[in-house]
Amino acid sequence: MRAIVIAAHGGPEVLEHVERPDPEPGPGEVVVDVAAAGVNYIDTYHRSGAYPLALPAAIGSEGAGAVSAVGPGVRDVAVGDTVAWASVLGSYAEKAVVPADRLVPVPDGVDAELAAATMLQGMTAHYLTHSTHAVREGDHVLVHAGAGGMGQLLIQLAKLRGAKVHATVSTAEKEKLAREAGADEVLRYDDFAEALSGRMDVVYDGVGAATFDGGLKALRPRGLMALYGAASGPVPPVDPQTLNKNGSLFLTRPTLADYIAEREELLQRASDLFGWIREGRLRINVSARYPLAEAARAHEDLTSRRTTGKLLLIP
């Protein structure tokens, strides 16, 4: 099979398209013929060494496809099932080995490519809006990078829960995408903090260094900053007194793994997302598909902010 691996941390050029032996499932594992693998910022962190991996390493953490083999002890998954997963390394490949308890079934009416595009960003948006800060009717929510794949999902899920959603973007084209996703107000990065000063119940920030300080200013007293990524670079160390001075604010740095650690929670989040897709209440914007061999180009496009939706690799 063909797969993407790294032998050293670095830029997109370290992504190698190589031939590897077909995998065999171990106890509690299955092999999936990958129909599509999602491209996410966490993959660029693994590649660059911001989140270092033991090298050499397979890369990619999200995908969907059809089960082709099951290992000993697997009872709830069968050959031929269409399944999806997130947070499992080795997903940039023609075949992936996935623990059976990390798989979710893909229902009729949701194809494998759409499922792959939904898992990591969709469940992140789900936990942020349903658990980290359970959005309530009338909440004022700020979503940074509202035209990106993650931003569009956050806007939609916050609107499903009755929020008034404010979003930041960099261009008029991206403003259109954020509004199409449901944003009530769209602002540019250079003026959002002043325009929203002291009004937001929660800020969802996947941008990081460039927006963090402004996001704190936008929060109401006792509001919550949910810092879930760092597309513009990591946020420098924060003096806790900053939270005090800005109104007894809350700050969290959540990660998906802790919100799907229990299988019941994993299944519930995925089931909600697939249900909303089938009902037409949630739209997944797949903006580009790349052959597996062009993983480096996908990473370049993602990190240069040339994209406005979900990116997929197609083996």
Residue 308, pLDDT > 90, answer no
Q: What is the rounded average pLDDT of the residues 266-277?
A: 98
Q: Is a pLDDT exceeding 90 seen at residue 305?
A: no
Q: Which amino acid is at 111?
A: D
Q: Please report which confidence band the pLDDT of residue 121 belongs to, taking 50, 70 and 90 as the band edges.
A: very high
Number of residues that make up the chain? 315
pLDDT at 53 over 90: yes
**What is the pTM (predicted TM-score) of this model?**
0.94
pLDDT at 307 over 90: no
Residue 57 has pLDDT above 80, yes or no: yes
CA atoms within 13 A on the CB side of 218: 31
Q: Which two tokens stand for residue 143?
A: 């979503």
Q: How many CB atoms lie within 10 A of CB 188?
A: 14
pLDDT at 99: 98
- DSSP bridge pairs for 164: 140
In this prediction, residue 309 has a pLDDT band, given cuts at 50, 70 and 90, of confident
